[in-house]
Chain A
């Protein structure tokens, strides 16, 4: 069930990123659903699973839609690993930390994108892009994370129970 949930949520995010949010034009603002999902995986499952899933999902995105193969995979690997630092380190009902993590991760990704574009010699107004695209998109990614956590938590929380059962069995 958990594997199915992970697989279908990754597919859903590919659809949302590549088709849905492209067709629904929200003043040019597009949240990064896949990034929000990887952060959710990191917070609910830990660094390693989030990094592995992030790398795989990033590679698929790169091959089919990306600018160069490995770019999103590397970003999702790092951001998934970073989100995993909050694994089991906050109260279960707290949605602020996941949202903040997703928002900061999206902000970092967009700033890296801006840096790459700037270094490749393309001119643009950073202030305009930051205020009209980077900041709103990061906020929307944070909101998506808040929506995704309650949906995915019941499915992924099985991992907590299993780990705790094994732990108590060892103690006996």
Chain B
């Protein structure tokens, strides 16, 4: 037994096999989170919430300081006083900004009618640009379930993919694996929209495809959800067409248009998880 434990390559090989096994099991699309994952996530969640909140405050303060500093460098006391005032102003701006965001969210909440929702904060995002998912500080205990849509006042943010006790993971609309059934608001043509991969994946570029052959699409057209599939409610804003790529009829193109997502993924703080869509509830029952 001791010989076995001292055999490092063997130990590493065993660990690799175990991890690959976990990876294979976790690759299943219908997989639910295990209690181990849920507990580990719940332990990390408060730390992440605190770290995320602190980072926001510090970054906003530093940004505001750089944007507003115009102190008189000849007078030290005045400089200190100005710095203090700027700090107060930065705090005030932060509160104003938060107040405005929450008001917008509240206004939006009033427009989405009878759908029930809960609010949550983004507390972390995955590393790299290949996948776009992020973690929210609301989970099973708050009524969150897999596949629930996530929105903010600008439009559709994404869909819940994993749920822990106090946290959940959301796949963003701009993720390349994301496909959403949509329609062009002006022409009522149905299509599909998907995320893209680019060096700066927060730029929010989407691809619109599967439009009917004679579709009259022009830059500036609004793209909204059509409610087909039962996951996303109807009429949630997805984005605006900025470039139509299908110019010649019959020419084979991969997508019909480039769409700018309406949600600004660089400034994603508060979001709403829609918990009360009849289709989702019915599908689960």
Contact = CB atoms under 8 A, between A and B. Distances in A.
A132 interface: yes
Contacts of A51: 12, 15
B51 interface: yes
Contacts of A20: 55
A28 B22 contact: no
Contacts of A52: 15
Contacts of B248: none
B48 A73 contact: no
B15 A63 contact: no
Contact of A65 (B26, B124, B202): B124
B130 A47 contact: no
A28 B201 contact: yes
For chain B, give the interface size range.
Answer: 35 or more
Contacts of B112: none
Given A55-B19, A120-B177, A65 B135 contact: yes
Nearest to A25: B266
Interface in A81-139: 81, 110, 113-114, 116-117, 120, 122-124, 128-129, 132-133, 137
Contacts of B123: 19
B131 interface: yes
B52 interface: yes
Nearest to A34: B127
Contact of A71 (B23, B129, B196, B203): B23
B130 A114 contact: yes
A48 interface: yes
A14 B177 CA distance: 24
Contact of A28 (B16, B176, B202): B202
A114 B12 CA distance: 26
Interface string A1-26: 00000000001001101111111110
A47 B12 contact: yes
A67 B170 CA distance: 10
Contacts of B52: 19
A69 to B, nearest CB: 4
For chain A, give the interface size range.
Answer: 35 or more
Contacts of A19: 48, 51-52, 55, 123-125
A74 B16 contact: yes
B229 interface: no
Contacts of A116: 130
A81 B15 CA distance: 12
Interface in B110-155: 123-131, 133-135
A110 B128 contact: yes
A13 B131 CA distance: 19
A19 B169 CA distance: 15
A19 B167 CA distance: 16
Contact of B133 (A29, A59, A67, A132): A67
A28 B135 contact: no
A117 B197 contact: yes
Contacts of A69: 22-23, 26, 37
A64 B19 contact: no
A122 B194 CA distance: 10
Interface string B7-45: 010011001100110110011000000000100110010
B44 A15 contact: no
27 contacts: A17-B127, A18-B127, A19-B123, A21-B127, A23-B55, A28-B129, A32-B128, A47-B12, A48-B8, A60-B40, A61-B127, A63-B37, A64-B167, A65-B133, A69-B23, A69-B26, A70-B26, A74-B19, A77-B19, A81-B12, A113-B128, A114-B130, A122-B177, A124-B198, A129-B129, A132-B199, A133-B199
Given A18-B126, A122-B197, 16 more contacts: A18-B125, A19-B125, A23-B56, A25-B266, A51-B12, A60-B44, A63-B40, A68-B27, A69-B22, A69-B23, A70-B19, A71-B23, A117-B197, A124-B196, A124-B197, A129-B198
CB-CB nearest 8 A-B residue pairs: A28-B200, A70-B23, A132-B199, A18-B124, A69-B26, A70-B22, A124-B197, A133-B199
